[in-house]
Structure 1
Amino acid sequence: MKKFIFTRFGIGVFDPRWYDFRLSIFESITFPSIINLKSEELYWVIFIDENIPVRAKEKLANLISTYKSKEKKILMKEVKFVFEVPGKMKSFIESKIDGEKEKFLLSRIDDDDAIRLDTIELVEEKCKENNNDAELALTFPVGYEFLVAERKILKCNRPFLTMNTYLYINQEKLTDALRIGHHRVKEWAQKNDLQIEELYTNGPMYLYSRHKQSDSNFLGIRKTILEDSNVKFITQRVYQDFNIDQVSFQKLRDNYNDFPSIGREKLWDRNKEQIQLAIEYYQKLDEIKKKMIENTKNVF
């Protein structure tokens, strides 16, 4: 069974200092989490902006080049705009699957989160229980909120996030599956007759990282987590379960206060207007191309 995971890495952000932090957290948390998954036939596609700062691109490429495996393939692909990701990912998946009927696993993970090392293994087992026949929307609700700077974790129950949700589908539903936000996956799955299951295992299945670049309401979220009586320091067992690189993670923590933060503002909101203009421009190009096809497809 082929599995496809994709990550949007900083698309639309061009400040080198922002990438200094993001690469540090990616190197210590997300990258080791995915490359150490118990799985074969896994493709991980990392999408970057074609105008990413040179230093950041080189560091990411060097990190990826350190990993060599026949079982897992890691690829870096460039886009002009974030809305190009679904189309590029669709084309990539279609180039790897064997026809319209072949089913595969699809998931997404952000560039600062992690999943437990046996996650894909458990998802595959669930698919095999159905003889690989049914189309599925699977989610692991239980995970940890993870305060990076404080090294503190809090168990949470949050189904249908990005990193804890897996679709077992074929090519027919791929376009829609790549375009929907995680908050609409359950609704979409119901409308499209996917079998929905919330999977509860012997422990938390994901790390949802919280840090000063992660959310515009980070300070409020941080306060809520720290005030919870169940919050605790991360343990050696958790480091191992999620394959966190402890050497890189310690370097990240040592330099944490030096990394920049934009405060309560959402960085991507600065380009909202430009993104909308780009979408409209691309739609016009599509209309022009369709007209060109109509004009010349039945000449002879």
Structure 2
Amino acid sequence: MSKGLEGQRLIVQELRVRPQYWRLKMNGNVVPVVIVTRLGIGVSNPEFYDYRLSLLSHSLARSISALTETKETYWYIAVDVRAPANIEKRIAKAIAPAKAVVWRRNPFFTGLHPVDKDELANKFGDQSIIVMRIDDDDLLHRDFVSEVRKHTSRGAALSAVTFGQGIDLTLSNMAAVDTWYPWIGAALSIQSSASELITPYDMKHTRTAEWIQRRGGDAKEVRSAPMWVRMWHQASDSTEARGFRNAGGTELRVDWAEYGLTSNNLAALQQAAQTVTTSPKRAHSFSRLEMKLAVVKQIRALRAQSKANGVSEKASRELRKDAKRLLEVLYCI
């Protein structure tokens, strides 16, 4: 696990891909799958973590525990540097028997990007790995790992896969409907070299195909059984900003064991969603994540200006002070 500021560098950057470098390197016949979950970067409120851990314990953690293929499969959870001091122990308890490495990220240096690329490069070298993004309140099908390995391009080390068919689950009434959303963030996966890593968090998820193809990679939309479930609840970021969006889908009868859930898990999720305090309705359609990203962009610009050639030491200090003031704004959103 990275400690201190060394693991908190600014890592959102334009990557220059050298075509002659992209050669598929694997550990035997298995490409490692790295599952990354962003849990509250830019959030320090303890109540946030109380609620999200209650969801995580009965949702994604159960899916991870139920995966049928676990060889060379790793789970990383990224939290904020200001998260409660005991968050690592609380996460370990909430996700057991699954295991995960917890990264603490400092948005002043890394923005909202959850991936510690240096640590993954040190762990996997120039081996090709698959990095997948999934939220803490989403679910994965038990066969996801084998499916993503099957559909990533074996002949090209840079490739992206999206499973467009999914399920929307509304926790208030436990109604599940089918949905088709290609290049959704849920279960979005990118295969690249760990030493020049490209992740699903490096670009807007809806632009992934264009982003990957522009760099000479393959982008594939897979039609299959639903590989992911997205949960809608009043305290979710998208729901607060835009309202529920699953109207019109076909209601389904779901075998929740395929996603690792029991009837007790479903009951606990519904209860958690009913007890959370929601925010007042917003006068705009921007999610908290979008607003935080806008602030992070300003912080990054101020930090860059403070380091520019020709800027006096006094002006540089003032720019850094402005950036730190914006950081406090970030935590208030």
The interval holding the TM-score normalised by the smaller chain is: 0.7 to 0.9
**Is this contact kept in 2: 1:39–1:121, CA < 8 A?**
no
Deviation, 1:121, is: 0.2
Distance 1:274 1:262 in 2: 20
Question: Which of 253, 260, 263 does residue 270 from structure 2 map onto?
Answer: 253
Deviations 1:59-79 (A, max 9, x none): 224224x336xxxx6100101
Further displaced range: 51-60 or 190-199: 51-60
1:160 maps to which of 177, 183, 196: 183
Match for residue 47 of structure 2?
17
Q: Can you list the C-alpha shifts for 1:169-219, whole angstroms capped at 9, x where unaligned?
A: 224652575421212211101201212221122x21110111112235459
SS at match of 2:149: helix
Question: What secondary structure sits across from 1:179 in the alignment?
Answer: coil
Correspondence 1:59 to 2:90: yes
Q: Does 1:191 align with 2:217?
A: no
Identity %, equivalent residues? 20
The answer to whether the 8 Å contact 2:128/2:157 transfers is no
Q: Secondary structure, in 3 states, of the residue corresponding to 1:156?
A: strand
The 5-angstrom pairing of residues 166-185 of structure 1 reads: 166-171=189-194, 174-175=197-198, 178-185=201-208
**1:284 Cα shift?**
5.0
| Equivalent residue, structure 2, for 1:76 | 102
**Are 1:44 and 2:75 counterparts?**
yes
Q: CA deviation at 1:143?
A: 0.6
Map of 1:298 onto structure 2: none
Tell me the residue number matched to 1:230.
Answer: 250
- Residue type matched to 1:112 in 2? D
CA contact (8 A) 1:20 1:259 kept: no
- State the TM-score, normalized to the length of structure 2: 0.71
Aligned to 2:227: 205
Structure 1: 5+ residue stretches without partners: 289-300
In structure 1, distance between residues paired with 2:74 and 2:62:
15
Given the two structures, how large is their TM-score scaled by the length of structure 1?
0.78
C-alpha distance after superposition, 1:270-295 (max 9, x if no partner): 7567534532354357658xxxxxxx
Unpaired stretches in structure 2, ≥5 consecutive residues:
1-30, 310-333
Select the structure that is richer in helix: 1
Aligned CA distance change for structure 1 residues 273 and 189 (closer, same or farther; 3 Å): closer
CA RMSD of aligned residues (A): 2.9
